[in-house]
DNA sequence: ACGGTATAGTTGACTACTCAAGCAACTTTA
DNA sequence: TAAAGTTGCTTGAGTAGTCAACTATACCGT
């Protein structure tokens, strides 16, 4: 039960710090970063909006609004699907990929630093393990695109 | 590093569910609930806005806006401090305390259920332990007011 | 082929925060 | 005892998301 309170506060606190940094250094929101990240690792660097919504834990309308911004910034583009006229893919542009690479090292570094400041390696491993059992955990891979 | 991604998603997913339930059953937002909760356990059931901000991981303006709502709903009231005219306490009203009690059992039940669905007791204990080492962890007590 | 239902996405109105700026009351210092 | 600085809180404007309602396309049974 303490676990829940701590989950809330730990996440809120760390997220706030990291978001501020990401914003200051690269002009990206946390969610925008996550978006570029999942797109970069997706097949063909594109994803249906609906899949994006699931991965980012956002509603479809949230995705629409998010992508509006990213498209305006030239980091992604809208690509129509040939076989289903309803779906439009979010396609990572080269600029978007570069942006991600620029932001990636700094950001993952900060995340790592923040965790390692408070936990040792095996504890982090344990934590990942435990959190992985909670809902919302779809499998992912490593930290760096092109890594 | 996976830990971070999972922390984000686990929290987003669970929070979404629990918030919806809390809203449907008691008309409270997650943050409102947390507020009532920390006030109930505070000395004299009141807290300075600035302290509230720290505990809820909110900015002062966020607290102002939040308390506006809670005060309008009669769950808290504004009480001026006698020795320092700048500070105004948020004082939990009886109605607020009752509201908390009503919401408390259902909510803590849901939280517990959600965790226990995926983790066993010792894992939950471990998780709480690990999250407790992350920033933002100030000590708290048990789950139920008056408990 | 055609009506019914499900799915993908968008839009308008709203909520819950944030930040930057500001005011008021307190403290320090000289 | 007054200027300068600090602290507690509020306010205006903006951002990021939500929900409910909508359009458009696709699929399915008859």
Positions in chain C where some atom is under 7 Å from a protein CB: 7-12, 15-21, 24-26
Contacts of B9 in chain A (CB under 8 A): 57, 136-138
What's the pLDDT score for residue A6? Answer: 95
Region B38-63: mean pLDDT is: 97
CA proximity to A12, closest of B72, B138, B147: B138
Which residue on chain A is closest to B123 by alpha carbon? A130
Region B72-78: mean pLDDT is: 97
Confidence band for B141, pLDDT divided at 50, 70 and 90:
very low
Distance CA A47, CA A49 (A): 6
Q: Is A120 left (phi over 0), alpha (psi -120 to 50) or beta?
A: beta
Confidence band for B146, pLDDT divided at 50, 70 and 90:
very low
What's the pLDDT score for residue A78? Answer: 97
Lowest-confidence pick of A36-40, A140-144, B36-40, B78-82? A140-144
Region B1-29: mean pLDDT is: 95
Region B98-116: mean pLDDT is: 96
- Interchain CB distance below 8 Å, B14 and A134: yes
The pLDDT tens digits of the residues spanning B13-23 come to 999 999 999 99
What's the pLDDT score for residue B145? Answer: 31
Confidence band for A147, pLDDT divided at 50, 70 and 90:
very low
Return the closest nucleotide (C1') to the Cα of B82. C25
CB B90 within 8 Å of CB B67: yes
Lowest-confidence pick of A43-47, A63-67, A137-141? A137-141
CA atom of A120 to C1′ atom of D19, Å: 42
Return the closest nucleotide (C1') to the Cα of B56. C17
What's the pLDDT score for residue B1? Answer: 83
Confidence band for A131, pLDDT divided at 50, 70 and 90:
very high
Distances (CA, A) of B115 to A93, B17, B106, B144: 39, 12, 14, 17
Distance CA A128, CA B83 (A): 48
Within its chain, how far is the Cα of A37 from the centroid? 5
Of B6, B14, B136, nearest to A12 by CB-CB distance is B136
The pLDDT tens digits of the residues spanning A71-80 come to 999 999 999 9
Quick check: B109 contacting A, CB < 8 Å? no
Distance CA A60, CA A87 (A): 12
Distance CA B135, CA B113 (A): 26
Confidence band for B136, pLDDT divided at 50, 70 and 90:
confident
Give A77-84 contacts, CB < 8 A, sequence gap 24+.
A79/A46, A81/A48
Distance CA A99, CA A93 (A): 10
Positions in chain D where some atom is under 7 Å from a protein CB: 7-12, 15-21, 24-27
What's the pLDDT score for residue A1? Answer: 83
Length of chain A: 147
What's the pLDDT score for residue A143? Answer: 33
What's the pLDDT score for residue B125? Answer: 95
Region A59-86: mean pLDDT is: 97
Lowest-confidence pick of A92-101, A137-146, B79-88, B103-112? A137-146
Residue B103 pLDDT > 50 = yes
């Amino acid at each position: 039960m303490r676990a829940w309170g701590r989950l809330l506060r730990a996440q809120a606190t760390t997220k706030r710090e990291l978001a501020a940094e990401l914003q200051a250094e690269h002009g990206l929101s946390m969610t925008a970063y996550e978006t570029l990240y999942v797109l970069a690792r997706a097949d063909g660097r594109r994803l249906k909006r609906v899949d994006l919504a699931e991965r980012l834990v956002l509603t479809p309308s949230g995705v629409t609004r998010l992508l509006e911004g990213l498209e305006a910034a030239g980091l992604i583009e809208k690509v129509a699907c040939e076989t289903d006229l309803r779906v439009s893919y979010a396609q990572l542009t080269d600029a978007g990929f570069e942006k991600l690479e620029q932001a990636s090292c700094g950001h993952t570094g900060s995340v790592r630093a923040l965790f390692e400041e408070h936990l040792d390696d095996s504890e982090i491993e344990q934590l990942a393990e435990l959190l992985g059992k909670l809902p919302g955990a779809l499998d992912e891979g490593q930290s760096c695109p092109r890594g």
